[in-house]
A = this chain, B = another copy of it.
Amino acid sequence: MLQDINLKVRLNKDEYKPVIETLEISLGQLQRQAKQAGIPVMVVFEGMSAAGKGTLINRLILPLDPRGFKVYTVKPPDEEQALRPFLWRFWVKTPERGRIHLFDRSWYQRVFSERVENGKNRADCLNDYEEINSFEEQLTRDGMVIIKYYLHISSKEQQKRFKKFEENPESAWRVTKKDWEKSRRYDEYLQAGDEMIEATDTVYAPWTIVEAHDTRYAAVKIMQEFERRIQERLNQVSGGTTTLPEKKRIEPAMVLARNSILDSMDMSHTLDKAEYDKKLGKLQDEFRSVQFDLYRHRIPMIILFEGWDAAGKGGNIRRLTANLDPRGYEVVPIAAPTALEKAHHYLWRFWKNVPKAGHIAIFDRTWYGRILVERIENYCTETEWKRAYQEINEMEEQFTSFGIVVVKFFLHITPEEQIYRFETRQNDPAKQWKITEEDWRNREKWALYKEAYEDMLLKTSTTYAPWTIVESNCKRYARIKVLETAIKAAERKIKAAK
């Protein structure tokens, strides 16, 4: 998921200055109010080496009253600390009510680095993360606000920064052999970061991923999130028994333009007909032979499709299945739930359609409806769709830990392409049935769906069941990408089974 983040976002000085000034005033006020309301706050900075933790912590504390906070720099445990359970040194550093403790690296440090540096296995790490979740849950239940930032930079940017440090005699000491070693193992750290966020991104202590190439952008995002979380807790507290002092209205800071995963996709991919024809048949044959291998090794597979109306789900599914043995796969089209389905848990009808070992199930729309159409049309409550991300991740983790290959496609088209397809359909008597009033109504909700899709891609692209975004303005390009991706995922599993 981290590698999908668009790191090109930035703010220029003119955009930055008014925002940061408003935020500084706001943060100062919020600190005073939090103190008065007795709210304790812990702020965690984790992320890639050279992502700028120090600089950004400084930026955040600048507007704060230094008597009310303390910064801890977390090193590997010293002897005294190593003699006790690993959370001990963080328990004793929890702030008392009304104070803010910031951590440059934190309780995540040990697990995160051991995962890469000592090759600690995933299951042991998950146990450690369980302890961390229990730590954070116990504290937040008691009123603590826990704000966690993961600062993200690309491998190229990391190398650039190391080199820049080295060139300057004053900062050359900062770059060690170990740092270059880290840089070489960037991809492993990326993977470990994904696993860490997956395991500990909870409702009570969520992570904020900070695009840290541009310090101005990063600073604003960090401060806005800080503002939002403290304000949220203050509202909860004042909604309860504590009454807050009359406070000056805080000007809402300019909301950062949402960093869109979808907008950063290159939608210009195409494929000409000749090459498409050449590849298509070959891939369809390959997929048939993959199907037999799956059957032989008793590996089940789920391929699912979500995407914009008219993005080409049906066409893709036909190309995928053209050559398959019909006894070994099933296409599951998902429509509005029946009365019986509504009388069960929303995941019940999907569990019923789990393929058995050796079989392939292809879902045309899925359980993600909960956080897409059901969210947008208010078919469920906000609480319900917000907790669905975790529920869906848990289900897919159970699928994959049983051995199911889960391949998830999001078919993306631009609004211009969609309108072109709608109009073509409307004007073609053979295709008119494919376009309904509802399609036009959904189109009016483009922005709402886009937000829901982005949230979905961010929160449910996991190491065990990642999303593949398929640039689908060119149908031929999309169909080849889908076939290739599905084949590759299945072959990886088949190879492991041999």
Contact = CB atoms under 8 A, between A and B. Distances in A.
Given A84-B354, A354-B84, A358-B83, A387 B141 contact: yes
Interface string A460-478: 0000000000000000000
A106 B151 CA distance: 45
A274 interface: no
Contacts of A84: 300, 354-357, 402
Interface in A345-376: 345-348, 351-352, 354-358
A92 interface: yes
Interface in A431-483: none
Contact of A134 (B346, B358, B394): B394
Contacts of A357: 83-84
Nearest to A353: B92
Given A83-B298, A85-B354, A356-B80, A345 B398 contact: no
Interface residues of A, number: 47
A88 B298 CA distance: 17
A142 B86 CA distance: 36
A96 B343 contact: yes
A196 interface: no
Contacts of A96: 340, 343-344
A285 to B, nearest CB: 27
A87 B345 CA distance: 14
Interface in A125-165: 127, 131, 134, 138-139, 141-142, 144
B85 A399 contact: yes
Contacts of A87: 351, 398
A323 to B, nearest CB: 24
A288 interface: no
Each complex incorporates copies of this chain amounting to 2
A430 interface: no
A97 B339 CA distance: 11
Contacts of A86: 402
B351 A92 contact: yes
B351 A138 contact: no
A391 interface: yes
B94 A348 contact: yes
Contact of A345 (B139, B351, B391): B139
Interface string A373-411: 000000000000001000100100011011010000000
A343 B402 CA distance: 46
A398 B128 CA distance: 10
Nearest to A141: B387
Contacts of A123: 123, 127
Contacts of A141: 387
A91 interface: yes
Contacts of A142: 345-346
Interface string A73-98: 00000001001111110011010111
B343 A97 contact: yes
B138 A391 contact: yes
A87 B346 CA distance: 16
A401 to B, nearest CB: 8
Given A84-B357, A97-B343, A134-B398, 6 more contacts: A84-B402, A85-B399, A88-B351, A92-B351, A94-B348, A96-B340
18 contacts: A80-B356, A83-B298, A83-B300, A84-B354, A84-B355, A84-B356, A84-B357, A92-B352, A94-B344, A94-B345, A94-B348, A96-B340, A97-B343, A97-B344, A134-B398, A138-B391, A138-B394, A142-B346
- Top 9 A-B pairs, shortest CB-CB distance: A91-B351, A96-B343, A83-B356, A83-B357, A85-B402, A97-B343, A142-B345, A134-B394, A92-B352
